[in-house]
Structure 1
Amino acid sequence: MSRGSWNLFSIAGACGLAMLVSACSSSEETKSDVDPSAATWQGIESKGKVVVGVKYDTIPYGFVPQGQETPVGFDIDLVTEIAKRWGVELELQPVTSANRIANLTTSKVDFIAASIVHTRERDEKIDYSVTYIAESMKLMVPMDSTINAIADLDGKTVALAQGSIQSQMMKQMNPQARVLEMKDWADVYLAVQQGRADAAFDTAGSLGSAVAAAKDAGVSLKVVGEDGIGNSPFAFGVRQGDALVRDKLNFTLMDMVEDGTYEAIFKKWWGTLYASTYQVEVWPK
């Protein structure tokens, strides 16, 4: 029971004797010394392990290459380096667009690095680190498609992932488009390859990577669409009030920027898609 639910008289009545009063007071003081915002970090330290929710279906953030079992990706490389610098073991927990926030709020993971866009609506449920990459939205279509813009999607089927911001955006940007929500992004890309959807709507980087992967499989796709649609700032998600974990993520990421580690990871995954490295916000020490 928290201190706020007690008053001076109930404490005295419950404890009665001076010795019991002393014992009750000691218990209350112990509870008040615990900072709720430090609980997750203390758990990470005591276990010597951090559990991170990551995608297994979103190229190049987190995915499992065909014929392999181990996930790789931009998000995964970032959290691998973070765990190393924290001196703890890293455990990856697969999440999807639909369940990643639930996995965080129910403490199945310590934080999420799951290509999640920082929105004002989501910020009411969880907290975020600084932005570590930002992208705009594009369309992926078959090579012979005549679709070139959002306006061309009237009556067309657009594949999207359940629980994604892209799904909300498409319903607002073109209500005449038929939205096909899939369980995960791998199914979204496959729907276009197999002709079950006319287009996929996702970030430019992810679609560029999906086009490259499809080409390796002998399927010709292309990325189209206007520039600058749907600014999407990606950040690590932490539980509401987990200020210590959020700060440690921010400061570790900023250290990685300053020593060149972030740039190396960025170029590994985005070098063929973007001419310059994303400029992460770095605060003075």
Structure 2
Amino acid sequence: MRKSSIYAVLFALVLVLVACGDSEDTTEDSTTTDEVTDEVWEEIKEEGVITVGTSGTLYPTSYYPEGSDELTGFEVEVQREIANRLGVDVEFEIMAYDAILSAINSGRVDMTSMGLRGERKEQFAYTQPIKYSFATMIVRKDDHSGIEKLEDLEGKLAGGAATTVYSEIAEKFGAEVKTYGNATNDAYLRDVHNGRTDVVINDYYLQSLAIQAFPEFNIEIHPDLKFHTSTTSIVMPKEAEKLREEVDAIVAEMLEDGTLREISEEFFDGQDVTVEPEGDVIEIEGIAK
């Protein structure tokens, strides 16, 4: 974790030596060095630890199995493998989803796994994707919560976390968003089942596994609505270019040797999230990619 300023800029002196004498020989030696050091990377190497921000409540990407105090999940195990290949230890900081990027900017954590879009792509460094997906919605099984198309979200109550693209989509189509903070899946799903909310919009792979854990709930993934393709990458401070290069090379290596696919299949019920989804997916005008 960073303890000092992000930039370390070393300016060399320009030395000009002029020799004048009876001879006409004149020697000028000019040396300039302008090197920017990635202080995030230097400190990680020095301390031998990389700090990762994660929710710890989102199955199957970052969660504690029942009866266990050992954090695991797709993103957690990918980050552990990255740390291992970097030759450093990894420490996880559990925090609300919408606090993680601020924690990266403040130096509290060094990296996370997240999908960046719009202006945020210019504010952080990130690797090639470790996961491809799209959005779906969980609705009540008996009547689809009265939703057959995206426009039917008008007037509905959607469960969601603050500042996510899924809440933005719900609001774009006229739904009111009920926010939960860093809640676990059962809180969201139980409210749809009980009618306290109408819908939860989220990542397809996450939702397809979440509902399997609650077969007694009157909920299902909407059978006809697939929208807003997305990617997840490893995200770091904008100025941590050396760290980004190192981690991106490891991600490419893990894709090549099959490690990412194996971790995906372990946590996503045999599905490979490292390839782009097939089929038609609705893209929503006005929602940043």
Q: TM-score range by the shorter chain?
A: 0.7 to 0.9
One-letter code aligned to 2:52: V
What secondary structure does 1:158 align onto? Answer: strand
- Decide whether the 8 Å contact of 1:214 with 1:220 is kept in 2: no
What secondary structure does 1:184 align onto? Answer: coil
- Decide whether the 8 Å contact of 1:136 with 1:227 is kept in 2: no
> Which residue of structure 2 aligns with residue 181 of structure 1?
179
- Decide whether the 8 Å contact of 1:160 with 1:180 is kept in 2: yes
- Decide whether the 8 Å contact of 2:153 with 2:170 is kept in 1: no
One-letter code aligned to 1:95: M
> Which residue of structure 1 aligns with residue 47 of structure 2?
47
1:279 matched to 2:280: no
> Which residue of structure 1 aligns with residue 162 of structure 2?
162
Output the CA distance in 1 between the equivalents of 2:219 and 2:8: 59
What secondary structure does 1:134 align onto? Answer: strand
Output the CA distance in 2 between the equivalents of 1:184 and 1:198: 20
What secondary structure does 1:183 align onto? Answer: coil
Which of 247, 255, 258 matches 1:257?
255
One-letter code aligned to 1:142: R
**CA gap 1:255/1:99 in 2 versus in 1, 3 angstroms:** same
Q: How far 1:67 moved relative to its partner?
A: 3.4
Q: How far 1:256 moved relative to its partner?
A: 1.1
> Which residue of structure 2 aligns with residue 23 of structure 1?
none
What secondary structure does 2:267 align onto? Answer: helix
> Which residue of structure 2 aligns with residue 35 of structure 1?
36
Which of 144, 149, 167 matches 2:142?
144
- Decide whether the 8 Å contact of 2:54 with 2:97 is kept in 1: no
**CA gap 1:4/1:269 in 2 versus in 1, 3 angstroms:** closer
Output the CA distance in 2 between the equivalents of 1:2 and 1:39: 7
Two-structure CA RMSD over aligned residues (Å): 2.7
Q: How far 1:137 moved relative to its partner?
A: 0.6
Output the CA distance in 2 between the equivalents of 1:238 and 1:99: 14
Q: How does 1:1-285 map to 2 (within 5 A)?
A: 35-36=36-37, 38-113=38-113, 116-146=114-144, 147-172=147-172, 174-175=173-174, 177-186=175-184, 187-215=187-215, 218-224=216-222, 226-272=224-270, 274=271, 276=272, 278-279=274-275
- Tell which deviates more after alignment, 147-156 or 261-270: 147-156
Q: How far 1:2 moved relative to its partner?
A: 8.7
- Decide whether the 8 Å contact of 1:134 with 1:278 is kept in 2: yes
- Decide whether the 8 Å contact of 1:211 with 1:220 is kept in 2: no
Output the CA distance in 2 between the equivalents of 1:229 and 1:136: 6
**Where does the alignment leave 5 or more consecutive residues of structure 2 unmatched?**
1-6, 15-31, 277-289
> Which residue of structure 2 aligns with residue 16 of structure 1?
none
- Decide whether the 8 Å contact of 1:160 with 1:185 is kept in 2: no
Output the CA distance in 2 between the equivalents of 1:41 and 1:226: 45
Please report the TM-score for the alignment, with normalisation by the length of structure 1.
0.78
- Decide whether the 8 Å contact of 1:160 with 1:182 is kept in 2: yes
Q: How far 1:185 moved relative to its partner?
A: 4.9
Identical-residue share of aligned pairs (%): 20
Q: How far 1:237 moved relative to its partner?
A: 0.9
Query: Which structure has more helix as a fraction of its residues?
Result: 1
Please report the TM-score for the alignment, with normalisation by the length of structure 2.
0.77
> Which residue of structure 2 aligns with residue 19 of structure 1?
none
Q: How far 1:145 moved relative to its partner?
A: 3.1
**Where does the alignment leave 5 or more consecutive residues of structure 1 unmatched?**
9-28, 281-285
- Decide whether the 8 Å contact of 1:104 with 1:238 is kept in 2: yes
Output the CA distance in 2 between the equivalents of 1:195 and 1:63: 26
Output the CA distance in 1 between the equivalents of 2:41 and 2:263: 25
Output the CA distance in 2 between the equivalents of 1:152 and 1:244: 47
Output the CA distance in 2 between the equivalents of 1:108 and 1:34: 25
